[in-house]
């Protein structure tokens, strides 16, 4: 780990001031990803601004009937919160599908949003990586790419976003609240993370010095018809090869609202509004779900080791929608 | 017990760093930690992990360094009663916290029931993962979420055992928590919900 100066702050304003104007300063909260990246010399901050003493630890109702989750609420606290379990079980399931109990106890809501890819080459400072070192090249495109993206990738980067929580937040259409040198703003989750394009070093649309303060959930939680399906190399404690957050609202036996978000397949939680629209007004059926899944993977592109993910994603979408709508439910 | 002192390079990791001139040297931070009931006032370099502080400064070597990347669970300790990976925790950030390591699990009355259960069930071979397994299990009991053998497997998945003592670790936890871990394994469940 590199040496750095340490600043513990007591207010959001001091936190923003501690990072603003220090290009290599970073906020730290749970530390589960940043400390690891520092050990690997991928992250070398000159100053760490410890935000763990800020008053961002509440889960509280919003005026619009949703919930506001403070940025420092741990992943465990969110997953086991009784309001989240009852009203947003999709979020609870997604969080509990990720990491280990110890890591969930440490990791925060804000940090989960900002965790970085687990691409092997991003972590290996001995290899080129455009995300770590812009312009150096992508080692994954012609290297080991079993865990990499099949949707929305670019010639500069085929990394995936590793979060499970964010896949559920995408399906729930959450909003990220941030404070920065230019004031406060609210960013819809769909616009929070980026596709790699020609700037893969930028994971999100946060501006320098901006701090995530909360995540807001809208009133609709899809607690009746939902599934988080995660497919991975071992039964627990592994990143998704493909995951699907499916949420449906049914009315008179037909789909009124459909949300489908995929993890493990792209640089951000992947949604396809056309594929969701296709289901509106339909009776839940395997055929309808297959048409939707087909649309989602229509532009998917595999590499040497991850072509299997295209078929896996197609089938995972169908299975998740079947489970969410309770057709073909095994129990 | 080694009294707290100036700690500038407590770990092997820190020793590998190039020496810096005094003008750029980052300062040590004063930290108070209560470890296994004993209060320590320490000066800690900010890049010192809680794991290195426990092992190198306080000589509490029961907590193990396995992967040092949060992937194996050997470094699990309880901080304010919550199980965490001490290898990914900067000590300076836990100023004021209460830490319990494996050295603090037993009391004057003898071994903790979990420790006795690990012995009775032969829940280890080499023993390297055992302190982390026991601290993790203590946290798990406190969380009160595990109701079945499947829950125990899932909620202990952050603690790896390269000897493969999992069935006996599970049995030891089951004994202490009153969960039957030896019934016929359930058929594989389909994914949630």
On chain B, the residues whose CB falls within 8 A of the CB of A1 are: 13-14, 17, 47
Is the pLDDT at A218 greater than 80? The verdict is: yes
pLDDT given at position B49: 98
Cis amide bond preceding B193, omega within 30 = yes
> Which pLDDT band, with edges at 50, 70 and 90, does B183 fall under?
confident
pLDDT given at position B2: 41
Find out whether B99 and B33 touch, Cβ atoms under 8 Å: yes
Nearest to A93 among B17, B82, B192 (CB): B192
B108 or A216, which is more confident:
A216
Cis amide bond preceding B12, omega within 30 = no
B16 or A73, which is more confident:
A73
Structure-token pair, residue A8: 């513990």
Q: Report residue A304 CA to chain centroid gap.
A: 25
Is the pLDDT at A316 greater than 70? The verdict is: yes
What is the dihedral sign for C-alpha A226, A237, A69, A182?
A: negative
> Which pLDDT band, with edges at 50, 70 and 90, does A327 fall under?
confident
Q: According to CATH, where is 3.30.390.50 located in chain A? A: 226-325
On chain B, the residues whose CB falls within 8 A of the CB of A99 are: 158
Quick one: residue A266, left, alpha or beta (phi over 0 = left, psi -120 to 50 = alpha)? beta
How many contacts, defined by CB atoms under 8 Å, are there between A and B? Answer: 114
On chain B, the residues whose CB falls within 8 A of the CB of A39 are: 13, 68-69
Nearest to B157 among A100, A105, A106 (CB): A100
* pTM of the shown model: 0.93
- Alpha-carbon span A116 to A160, nearest angstrom: 9
Mutate to test the interface with A, among B28, B78, B79, B88 (most CBs of A within 10 A): B88
Is the pLDDT at A322 greater than 80? The verdict is: yes
B92: exposed, middle or buried (Cβ count in 10 Å: 0-12, 13-18, 19+): buried
| Contact flag A35-B89 (C-beta cutoff 8 Å) | yes
**Tens digit of each residue's pLDDT (9 = 90 or more) over A223-267:** 999 999 999 999 999 999 999 999 999 999 999 999 999 999 999
Is the pLDDT at A143 greater than 80? The verdict is: yes
Q: Parse chain B into domains and list their residue ranges.
A: 6-13+26-104, 113-177
Mutate to test the interface with B, among A30, A32, A101, A322 (most CBs of B within 10 A): A101
Average pLDDT on A51-67 reads: 98
DSSP state of A204: B
- Alpha-carbon span B55 to B11, nearest angstrom: 9
B178 SS3 class: coil
Structure-token pair, residue A226: 């939902």
Q: What integer best gives the mean pLDDT of chain A?
A: 97
Task: Say which residue the tokens 């040198």 belong to.
Answer: A181
Domain A5-50 top-level CATH class: alpha beta
Closest-CA residue of A relative to B86 is: A102
Mutate to test the interface with A, among B77, B85, B95, B99 (most CBs of A within 10 A): B85
> Which pLDDT band, with edges at 50, 70 and 90, does B188 fall under?
low
Average pLDDT on B23-36 reads: 82
Of B50, B54, B6, B49, give the one whose Cα is nearest residue B29.
Answer: B6
Give the minimum alpha-carbon distance from A205 to chain B in angstroms, rounded to a whole number.
27
Q: What integer best gives the mean pLDDT of chain B?
A: 87
On chain B, the residues whose CB falls within 8 A of the CB of A106 are: 84-85, 88-89
Cα-based angle B86, B87, B90 (whole degrees, multiple of 5) = 75
Is the pLDDT at B6 greater than 60? The verdict is: no
Cα-based angle B6, B12, B15 (whole degrees, multiple of 5) = 65
Average pLDDT on B23-35 reads: 81
**What fold characterizes domain B113-177?**
DNA polymerase; domain 1 (1.10.150)
**Tens digit of each residue's pLDDT (9 = 90 or more) over A157-186:** 999 999 999 999 999 999 999 999 999 999
Of A248, A230, A233, A252, give the one whose Cα is nearest residue A165.
Answer: A230
- Alpha-carbon span B120 to B114, nearest angstrom: 10
Nearest to A227 among B20, B93, B193 (CB): B193
Task: Say which residue the tokens 């489908």 belong to.
Answer: A260
pLDDT given at position B185: 56
Is the pLDDT at B87 greater than 50? The verdict is: yes
Q: How many CB atoms lie within 10 A of CB A277?
A: 12
| Contact flag A105-B27 (C-beta cutoff 8 Å) | no
Average pLDDT on A107-118 reads: 98
Q: DSSP letters along A45-107, please?
A: -SEEEE-TTSS---EEE-TTSSEEEETTSBHHHHHH-HHHHHH-HHHHHHHHTSS-HHHHHH-
CATH superfamily of A226-325: CO dehydrogenase flavoprotein, C-terminal domain (3.30.390.50)
> Which pLDDT band, with edges at 50, 70 and 90, does A217 fall under?
very high
The domain B6-13+26-104: what is its CATH number?
3.10.20.30
**Given CB atoms, is A308 within the 8 Å cutoff of chain B?**
no
What percentage of chain A carries pLDDT values higher than 90? 97
pLDDT given at position B4: 40
- ipTM confidence: 0.96
Q: Report residue B65 CA to chain centroid gap.
A: 10
On chain A, the residues whose CB falls within 8 A of the CB of B80 are: none
**Given CB atoms, is A207 within the 8 Å cutoff of chain B?**
no
């Amino acid at each position: 780990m590199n040496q750095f100066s340490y600043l513990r702050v007591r207010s959001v304003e001091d936190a923003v001031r501690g990072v603003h104007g220090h290009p290599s300063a970073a906020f730290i909260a749970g530390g589960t990803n940043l400390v690891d990246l520092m050990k690997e010399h991928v992250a070398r901050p000159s100053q760490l601004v410890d935000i763990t003493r800020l008053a961002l630890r509440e889960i509280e109702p919003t005026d619009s009937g949703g919930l506001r989750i403070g940025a420092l609420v741990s992943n465990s606290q969110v997953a086991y919160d009784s309001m989240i379990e009852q009203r947003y079980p999709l979020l609870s399931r997604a969080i509990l599908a990720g990491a280990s109990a110890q890591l969930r106890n440490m990791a925060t809501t804000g940090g989960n949003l900002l965790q970085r890819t687990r691409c092997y080459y991003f972590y290996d400072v001995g290899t080129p990586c455009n995300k770590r070192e812009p312009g150096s090249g992508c080692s994954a495109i012609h290297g080991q790419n079993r865990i990499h993206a099949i949707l929305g990738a670019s010639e500069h980067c085929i990394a995936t976003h590793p979060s499970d929580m964010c896949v559920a937040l995408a399906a729930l259409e959450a909003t990220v609240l941030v404070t920065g040198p230019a004031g406060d703003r609210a960013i819809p989750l769909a616009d929070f993370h980026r596709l790699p394009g020609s700037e893969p070093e930028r994971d999100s649309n946060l501006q320098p010095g901006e701090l995530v303060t909360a995540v807001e959930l809208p009133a609709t939680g899809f607690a009746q018809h939902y599934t988080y399906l995660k497919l991975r190399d071992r039964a627990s404690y592994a990143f998704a090869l493909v995951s699907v957050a499916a949420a449906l609202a049914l009315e008179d036996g037909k789909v009124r609202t459909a949300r489908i978000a995929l993890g493990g397949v792209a640089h951000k939680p992947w949604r396809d509004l056309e594929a969701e629209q296709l289901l509106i007004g339909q009776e839940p059926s395997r055929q309808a779900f297959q048409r939707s899944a087909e649309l989602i993977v229509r532009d998917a592109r595999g590499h040497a080791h991850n072509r299997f993910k295209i078929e896996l994603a197609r089938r995972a979408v169908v299975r998740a929608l079947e489970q969410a709508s309770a057709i073909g439910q095994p129990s | 017990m080694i009294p707290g002192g100036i700690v500038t390079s407590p770990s092997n990791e820190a020793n590998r760093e190039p020496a810096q001139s005094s003008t750029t040297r980052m300062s040590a931070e004063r930290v108070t930690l209560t470890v296994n009931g004993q209060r320590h006032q320490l000066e800690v370099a900010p890049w010192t992990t809680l794991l290195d502080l426990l092992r190198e400064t306080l000589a509490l070597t029961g907590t193990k360094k396995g992967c040092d990347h949060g992937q194996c669970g050997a470094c699990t300790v309880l901080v304010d009663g919550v199980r965490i990976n001490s290898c990914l925790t900067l000590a300076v950030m836990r100023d004021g916290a209460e830490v319990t390591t494996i050295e603090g699990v037993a009391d004057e009355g003898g071994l903790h029931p979990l420790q006795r259960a690990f012995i009775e069930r032969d829940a280890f071979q080499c023993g390297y993962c055992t302190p982390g397994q026991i601290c993790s299990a203590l946290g798990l009991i406190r969380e009160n979420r595990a109701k079945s053998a499947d829950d125990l497997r899932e909620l202990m998945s952050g603690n790896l055992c390269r000897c493969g003592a999992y069935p006996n670790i599970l049995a030891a936890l089951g004994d202490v928590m009153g969960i039957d871990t030896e019934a016929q394994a359930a058929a594989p469940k389909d994914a949630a919900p």
